[in-house]
Amino acid sequence: MSVQLYSYEEVSKHNNRNDLWMIIDGKVYDITKFQDEHPGGEEVLIDEGAKDATGSFEDVGHSEDARQILKSYYIGDIDPKSQPIKLTKQTEQTIAPGPQGK
């Protein structure tokens, strides 16, 4: 069975409440359905979603139970040929572009 590979760019597209992916230790997780169950609230997942959240995940000191739960959301690995990209904070709901400038 081959593992599905995803680029950082692909993961970055899954960046909102209705479609949220995360990278931890080179593995990609679709955590969309976990947001309501997360003990720390959905906001922290949205803030750390769509990118490599390994550091944040490890800093919190998740339990073995949390690590087991995480496994159920695994969908593939980060393509080792892929390069991380810089993300900008996105709003959950964008209706139309706002005025540019200050």
- Spatial distance between the Cα atoms of 100 and 102, rounded to a whole number of angstroms: 7
Q: What pLDDT, in 10s, does the model give residues 55-67?
A: 999 999 899 999 9
Question: What are the extents of the domains in the chain?
Answer: 5-78
List beta partners, residue 21.
30
Q: In what order do the strands lie in the sheet with 5-6?
A: 5-6, 74-78, 27-30, 19-24, 15-16
CATH superfamily of this structure's domain 5-78: Cytochrome b5-like heme/steroid binding domain (3.10.120.10)
Q: What pLDDT, in 10s, does the model give residues 32-43?
A: 999 999 988 899
Tokens, residue 96:
């139309």
pLDDT, the chain, mean: 86
Q: What is the pTM of this model?
A: 0.82
